[in-house]
Amino acid sequence: MFEAWKARRAEQKRLRAEREAAERERRRVADLKARRADVETELSFAKERLERARTFSGVTGRDVPDNVGVALKRGESVFCVVTNTVLVEPRKGPGQWKGRSQGVSVPIPGTRLRYRVGASRGQFQAGEEKPTPIDEGTFVVTSQRAVFTGQKQSREWSWSKLLGVTHYDPGWTAMAVSNRQKVSGVAIDPDNRDAVDFWIDLAVAHANDTVADVVDDCLHDVEQLTAALAEIDGSTSSDTSTPPAALPPTT
């Protein structure tokens, strides 16, 4: 009887181990499929960016979107037009007094109150500057500049005066120019953020004759993602020679 009980326990343990192993395998396969789907999506966009970097230099004439809202200069081409963007500029928060007071406490006759006689030592500290939403409007990227046109404010960032572009993630894209003391920029909704960042980088590259660097960066991304996909599939094959059709220039 004891032997039969031991046999049943062993069988139950074996079945439990098989179920746990099957569940681990199911989770592993599901995780692998999810990772593969993510990499495939990133690779598709990377190939599109590579194709655009190689072939796209903006649109002109009748191809310019109707909602551009900017008077284009001679030879200026449009890379993208984005609505519902937010102008971001640094603004100081409230300041505060930091210090300590000195003196003596003197009783007020006939009352239980006291008052201090002395001086306060310390200093006023101005509030910290933080990126702050200023206005909402349309953002246009061209071969010569970027322009924000809002309900209350408008800004222009000329590529000829550009000192640097920083894509904060998450958050906004800051563009520093020599003719403006404070750094400002725009915030884009998450669905279009990566695409707009790319158009800005490509437009700046065309203005500075550094498109080859952007192409190299895009090609590097494609190669890395292709290798990651091959690793997931357990394959060593790699094909980055045929990018899919490019996206339209507007978002």
Domain extents in the chain:
1-55+211-246, 61-92+130-209, 96-125
121-128 contact pairs (CB < 8 A, 24+): 122/97, 122/98, 123/97, 123/98, 123/99, 124/95, 124/96, 124/97, 124/98, 125/95, 125/96, 125/97, 125/98, 126/92, 126/95, 127/92, 127/93, 127/94, 127/95, 127/96, 128/92, 128/93
Q: What is the pLDDT of residue 83?
A: 93
Task: Indicate the CATH number of 61-92+130-209 among 1.10.630.10, 2.30.29.30, 2.120.10.10, 3.90.950.10.
Answer: 2.30.29.30
Q: What is the pLDDT of residue 10?
A: 82
Q: Which residues have a Cβ under 8 Å from the Cβ of 28 and sit 6 or more positions away? A: none
Q: Give the DSSP H/E element, type plus range, for residue 116.
A: strand 114-125
Return averaged pLDDT per consecutive 10 residues of the chain, 251 residues in all. 77 85 86 90 95 95 88 94 94 60 57 56 62 94 97 95 90 92 92 93 96 97 94 58 41 44
Q: What is the pLDDT of residue 112?
A: 59
Beta strands 162-167 and 78-92 are unpaired
Prediction pTM value:
0.72
Q: What is the pLDDT of residue 108?
A: 55
CA-closest candidate to residue 138, choices 196, 215, 58, 76: 196
Q: How far is CA 12 from the centre of its chain?
A: 52
Q: Alpha-carbon distance 33 to 108, whole Å?
A: 80
Q: At what angle do helices 2-55 and 211-233 cross, to 10 degrees?
A: 160
